[in-house]
Amino acid sequence: MSRYNNIAPDVREKIAGTWVSRSGVQLDALAKHPPEMQRKIIDMIVTYPEITKIADAVRAVTKAPAPVPPTNLERFLTIWRKMDRRARLQAIASIRSDIAASWHETWRGMNEEDRDLIIQVIAPELPGGLSREAA
């Protein structure tokens, strides 16, 4: 009922029978905006039928840039953070050989100076690694 009450009457008339009126998610998105913005959003949708989401119409009205899609790493980390310990261990076991092969290939492609730098940075962090202490 709040969805109905939060959409201006003239906007409700304009969207009757459209894809907007058949989607609760889109109606909720529209209802979050003040009436004047609702009118602009619906005018944008009527003018540009390729717009299929209220969020896209809002971006067009406000001239906001489209969101940058997440990188593969960001998508992976989102899933990783949702995993419990057991799922993480299963994931690691599954990709272990890929990681080893990728690391080996990367290592072979490095020059001696880069290899030495990596050893200096990583070795102290490894179990049993040497600590860096001032003389």
The pTM of this model reads 0.54
Average pLDDT of the residues of the chain: 89
Mean pLDDT, residues 76-89 taken together: 94
The whole-angstrom separation of Cα 39 and Cα 11 is: 6
Mean pLDDT, residues 41-57 taken together: 95
User: Over the range 68-100, which residues count as b (16 or more CB within 10 Å of their CB) and which as e?
Assistant: eeeeeeeeeeeeeeeeeeeeeeeeeeeeeeeee
User: Which percentage of the chain shows pLDDT scores above 70?
Assistant: 94
